[in-house]
């Protein structure tokens, strides 16, 4: 029985998983496929040699491994072994396998009976790669899943999500029953690769995540008049593209003023869209993100004001349409402090940062469970790609720091 942490073994297991489930294009562990099921079975085999650990899948297909403690109050450690198609070797499965390492250490140190219950959860379909709906298992568990929207999802071959999950023993109408798993949850921890360049640019291995960005996503349509590109003098034009183009510069100023927010115009379509006509209609999409709800609201209102100004200047009409929004989700202050301490004790300089992408941790925090995430540096800041990578020494340090965080969280819960 292992009583001490073995971070090198985690790196070796990540490599083993890659060999089992990746091809020359990268990881192929898309949820609700045979390769994903094979990865799950492999994960099962990594844990079931530990005596006294109970393993089951819940109603939403989330995998739970539970080590009962002296208290029913539970520390949850989460990850996702599913990947995008042609994905990297770390996104999601690092968290799951670091969780396995921590579970082994706790099992050994406390002779199979820790002070509080410790549970590893491998969430089902975090990526949403097949059906376009991410955080499937964790949003079912948190109860926030949109049942009507999800019920109608189909993959590119026309297979319905409800039918695909049935093959893995999931009755879609019952997925929210998985919420009972959170009954005694007292804290939730997740280790993840950063998937961005911030820690790399700071030359830091690890970061403490403060929460996930709130998002405002809108379509903005400017409408002017199509007119001949030769016969229409410049001062007589109602050019919808000109107004939209001014937005492109303005969002950089808005983001700069927001201190920490980001804005993206990700799409621009023009009508009639021919080389010989002034643009009659220009539709752009705007994605704005910030960790602070007030700052996000300010960013949105500044974008609206700017669009009205540019529309008036160009004598074009303006329409806004909300595509999607989510509020910022903040992690627990005490766990954030413990995460900083754990990073220091592992020999790194702590650094606090927001998460741009959503993660399962956001769903669990939304459900009211005290939550924190730890990030480890991504080389090149690249993810969802087979070139995704992190230095082995940083992976090992991450497992060590994450284990210290788990230890601190157990004592925090037991108090």
Q: Write out the residues near Zn ion by the rule CB under 5 A.
A: 91-92
Q: Which is nearer to Zn ion, 91 or 396 (CB)?
A: 91
Q: How far apart are CA 116 and CA 71, in angstroms?
A: 5
Strand partners, 208: 352, 374
Question: Cβ 293 to Zn ion, closest distance in Å?
Answer: 24
Q: Which is nearer to Zn ion, 58 or 91 (CB)?
A: 91
Q: Which is nearer to Zn ion, 91 or 340 (CB)?
A: 91
Instruction: For residue 402, give Cα distances in angstroms to 82, 95, 99, 101, 372.
Output: 21, 9, 9, 10, 11
Question: Cβ 245 to Zn ion, closest distance in Å?
Answer: 35
Please compute Rg for the chain using Cα positions. 24
Q: Which of 56, 276, 268 is nearest to 180 (CA)?
A: 56
Question: Cβ 91 to Zn ion, closest distance in Å?
Answer: 4
Q: Which pairs with CB-CB distance under 8 Å and at least 24 residues apart come from 145-150?
A: 145/175, 145/176, 147/176
Q: Which of 47, 163, 129, 94 is nearest to 402 (CA)?
A: 94
Question: Cβ 82 to Zn ion, closest distance in Å?
Answer: 9
Q: Which is nearer to Zn ion, 123 or 241 (CB)?
A: 123
Give the DSSP H/E element, type plus range, for residue 415.
none
Question: Cβ 55 to Zn ion, closest distance in Å?
Answer: 22
Question: Cβ 126 to Zn ion, closest distance in Å?
Answer: 6
Parallel, antiparallel, or unpaired for β 116-122 and 71-79? parallel
Q: Which is nearer to Zn ion, 91 or 388 (CB)?
A: 91
**Helices in 328-385 by DSSP H: which ranges?**
333-345, 360-366
Q: Which is nearer to Zn ion, 91 or 403 (CB)?
A: 91
Question: Cβ 174 to Zn ion, closest distance in Å?
Answer: 26
Q: Which is nearer to Zn ion, 78 or 224 (CB)?
A: 78
- Cβ atoms of 278 and 263 within 8 Å: the answer is no
Nearest residue to Zn ion, by Cβ distance, number only: 92
């Amino acid at each position: 029985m292992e009583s001490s942490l073995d971070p090198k073994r985690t790196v070796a297991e990540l490599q083993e998983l890659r060999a089992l489930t990746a091809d020359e294009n990268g990881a192929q562990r898309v949820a609700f496929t045979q390769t994903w099921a094979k990865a799950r079975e492999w994960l099962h085999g990594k844990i079931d040699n530990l005596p006294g650990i109970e393993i089951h899948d819940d109603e939403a297909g989330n995998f739970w491994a539970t080590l009962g403690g002296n208290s029913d109050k539970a520390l949850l450690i989460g990850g996702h072994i599913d990947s995008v198609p042609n994905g990297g070797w770390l996104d999601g499965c690092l968290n799951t396998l670091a969780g396995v390492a921590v579970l082994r250490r706790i099992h050994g140190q406390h002779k199979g009976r820790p002070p509080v219950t410790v549970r590893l959860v491998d969430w089902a379909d975090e990526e949403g790669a097949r059906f376009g709906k991410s955080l499937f298992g964790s949003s079912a568990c948190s109860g926030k899943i949109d049942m009507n929207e999800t019920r109608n999802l189909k993959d590119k071959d026309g297979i319905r999500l409800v039918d695909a999950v049935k093959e893995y023993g999931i009755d879609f109408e019952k997925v929210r029953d998985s919420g009972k798993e959170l009954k005694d949850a007292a804290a939730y921890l997740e280790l993840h690769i950063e998937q961005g360049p911030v820690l790399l640019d700071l030359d830091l291995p690890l970061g403490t995540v403060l929460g996930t960005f709130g998002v405002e996503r809108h379509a903005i349509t400017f409408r002017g008049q199509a007119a001949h590109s030769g016969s229409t003098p410049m001062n007589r034009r109602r050019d919808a593209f000109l107004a939209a183009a001014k937005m492109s510069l303005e969002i950089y100023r808005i983001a700069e003023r927001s201190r920490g927010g980001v804005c993206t115009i990700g799409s621009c379509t023009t009508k009639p869209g021919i080389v010989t006509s002034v643009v009659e209609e220009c539709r752009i999409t705007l994605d704005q993100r910030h960790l602070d709800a007030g700052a996000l609201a300010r960013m949105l209102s500044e974008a609206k004001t700017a669009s009205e100004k540019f529309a008036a200047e160009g004598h074009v009409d303006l329409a806004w349409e909300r595509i999607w929004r989510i509020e910022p989700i903040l992690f627990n202050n005490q766990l954030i402090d413990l995460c900083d301490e754990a990073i220091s004790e592992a020999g790194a300089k702590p650094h606090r940062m927001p998460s741009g992408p959503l993660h399962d941790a956001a769903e669990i925090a939304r459900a009211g469970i005290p939550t924190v995430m730890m990030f480890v540096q991504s080389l090149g800041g690249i993810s969802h790609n087979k070139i995704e990578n992190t230095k082995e020494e940083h992976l090992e340090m991450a497992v060590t720091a994450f284990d210290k965080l788990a230890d601190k969280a157990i004592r925090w819960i037991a108090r």
